[in-house]
Structure formats: structure tokens, C-alpha cells
Structure 1
Amino acid sequence: MQYSRPALLMLDYQVALCDPEANRAPALAAQVAERAVVPVAQAVLAAARDAELLIIHVRLAFDDTYLLRTNRLARFDSYPENRAMLRGSAEAAIIAQLAPEQGEPVLDKSCVDPFIGSPLLSVLHAEGIGEIIIGGVATNLVVESTARHASDSGLQVTIVEDMCASFSPAAHDFAMANILPMFGSVFSSAEVIGRLSEHAERGAA
């Protein structure tokens, strides 16, 4: 793993996508549970906090007009009528296990890619960030879009494989084996936590 000042991006760990009882994305929520994504993400998040990384939480959340959404594909057409993923709603909230702490910004996005229509890239540059460490759901949506955009913008990208899940094991595995390695480096949470622990120790020295 290359070493530069990194930031951790927590991507779309939301009630609607991770909680089986929310019933918006049951196949995705089932994979999140089966792969134990939440406890893995908790461990990485704790290590990033210990290492004093910049941590940004990203979520899909629409304003009450839904006019600011940049993605106008048909699969989003029902969202305004159903008031789906409305900012401030329970389903759009980040799950309690991964809730932001004070000082950790939450970025709302209106499409898959968190860089589109947001200040994310400018903030990372302003903070001197040369690398992002990412995990989230779904693997072949927000994780892949983030990796593509970040790498094309000159950032190094580390993807934490077991922090991610998709709607099926096949979709996740294909993205991890064939797509994401073209845009970043794929590592396990244990490898990334080990690196962050070293970073924390150096910072304390």
C-alpha cells in the first residue's frame, strides 16, 4: 500500500440499504448481513478514528423537491412520489452502528457517484488528501463509481473488500476481481487496520 495522507470514505451505510427490516433493498441487506459487513466496517472506522484520519460519511439523500437529483434514470422516477430516501427520513439515515461522530462530515448525494454535484473532490484537495480508503454498499454501484472518479482525479484508491457487499455474491465478486483493481488496490480489512495502526503509532511517537 502506498502511503500518503489518507481519508476514509464510508459509502451509503444507510438504513434502507443495510437493515433487512427496511425492505427497500432486501437482497442487498441480506448480503450485508451474510458478509458481516457492519462489524467489519465498525472495526475499520474505529482504526481510522484512532489514526486521526479525515472521515467522511456519504449517503443518498434527496431534498424535498427532488429537483436537485442529477441521476434521472427511470429507476429513480418513483422516488419523488414515494418520498423515498428523503433527507431527514429514517430510511436515509446512516445506521446507528456506523453513526458519524462530532467533527465527521456527512455528504448528501443525489446520484450514485458522490463526486457529482458535490464539493467532495475540492474538500479532499483542500485537506491535502492524496488517497481515499473506501468501503460501502453496493460494491458495483457507489464503491465502483467512487473508485473510478477518484482515480481519474489523481487520487490513490484503496478498497476494503470485506467492508463491501452487493445484491448478490456474483456481482460483488465480479467487481472485486475484474473492475475495481483497474482503479485502485483491493485489500482486506485486516490489512488496512494493520496499516492504520502503524499510522496511529507513528502519530503518537
Structure 2
Amino acid sequence: MAGSNRRRALLLMDFQQAVCGPSGVLGVPSGASGHTAARQVLPRVQEALRRARRTDDFIVHVRVGFDEDGLRRVNRSQPFLGLEQRKVFSPGSAGFEFCPQAQPEPGELVVTKACVSPFAGTGLDDILRAQRADHLLLAGVATNFVVESAARHAGDAGYAVDVIEDLCAAHSEEMHQFAVRRTLPLFGRIATLNSVYPGA
């Protein structure tokens, strides 16, 4: 970190039942649920939260969610329109909920977005700067979608970026590895749970 008045922020992104839960309405057909399970990502997310809560790191839980009238949906693409019409991420739906291992605790920030990026239309950048966060730890599903989108924005915005590789999954191992080896290193450092939160 840049100094004693600066801090890190842990961004846990899209760990929702629809995306990566064992019976996710999107995760099962896309392969994200299977890849998340195969990589044992959710137990590691739970452990990451346990360790992070012992530090001064600012914890942020990011989720996809659509308002009833669709005014907050900044991504106007056909796939996002379809998700909205199917009410996959409507508040109160099963798919909208966080997976049990990724549940926020009181006092932790929850950011709801209506697009891929956790920054677009959410005010997250302003919140992070108000919290003196200049170093972001990124984790989420999918590696080549939300994680990559966050890393691109954060790198350009001047944040130091660590992607916690073993807290990420994609629709397939091939997609995950391409992002980790080819794209994400352009915007930040590839890290692991134990490298960013050493010890038990």
C-alpha cells in the first residue's frame, strides 16, 4: 500500500446463485457452476472472507440486479435484456441471492449493478476513493467477464490490482486460463489467496 493512510479493498464479484451456485440457472448451462465447483472456489471465498475480516481491508460484495422498470440497466445489449425479461436477477429471486459461502456481514458494502462492470453506474469508484482504497483485490465469476472488466477499469483508473486467481472461475478452464495468462497480467498481478492473505 502507498502508506499507512491507504488501504486495500477486496472485491468479491457475482458470487450469486444464478451465476455459480450448484443449480444456477445461468451457471449450469454455461459451465460456470461446474467450473466453480471443480476449482473449489466457493470454499476459498469463505476462507478469504474469514481472513479479510481480520484486517483493515475494505470488503465489497458485487452482484447483478435489475429494478422492476429497467431504468438502472446500463447495459442495453440483447443478452442483458433477456436476463431482465426472465427475471433472473430480480431482487427476491433465488438467482439474485449470494451463495452461502459469500454472504455479506453487516457493515460490508453491497454494490448492485445492471451490467458486467462493477464500476459502471454504481458509484463504486467514488466509494473506494472515500475509503482511501488504492489497491484492489479482485475475485469473481466469470474470470473473463466481470473480473477482466474490473481489472481493465481499475488499471486505467490508477489502482494497484491483484487478481486472486484461485478465487475465480469461468465457463471453462480454457476461458479461465486465457484470461489469467494472456489478458489480466496486462492490468495487474496474478495472485493467490495465500499470497494476499497469508496464514490461517
TM-score after normalising by structure 2? 0.93
| Alignment pair present for 1:95 and 2:88 | no
The answer to whether the 8 Å contact 1:20/1:30 transfers is: yes
1:44 and 2:58 aligned? no
The aligned residue for residue 121 of structure 1 is 125
The residue identity in structure 2 corresponding to 1:90 is A
> How many residues matched?
196
The 3-state SS of whatever aligns with 2:23 is: helix
- The whole-number CA distance in structure 1 between the counterparts of 2:90 and 2:186 is 34
Kindly state the Cα deviation for residue 96 of structure 1 after the two structures are TM-superposed. 1.4
**Range 56-65 or range 21-30, more displaced:** 21-30
Q: What is the correspondence of 1:1-205 to structure 2 with a 5 Å cutoff? A: 5-26=7-28, 27-194=31-198
Distance 1:188 1:2, change over 3 A: farther
Q: Is the 8 A contact 2:9 2:135 kept in 1?
A: yes
For residue 90 of structure 1, give the secondary structure of its aligned residue in structure 2. coil
Q: Which moved more, 1:1-10 or 1:81-90?
A: 1-10
Amino acid at match of 1:162: D
Contact 1:44–1:192 (8 Å) recurs in 2: no
- Runs of 4+ aligned structure 1 residues displaced above 4 Å come to 1-4
Higher helix share goes to which structure? 1
Identity %: 39
What's the C-alpha RMSD, in Å, of the aligned pairs?
1.7
TM-score by length of 1: 0.91
**In structure 1, C-alpha distance between the alignment counterparts of 2:81 and 2:132, rounded to whole Å:** 38
C-alpha separation between the residues in 1 aligned to 2:110 and 2:124? Answer: 11
Structure with the higher strand share, 1 or 2 = 2
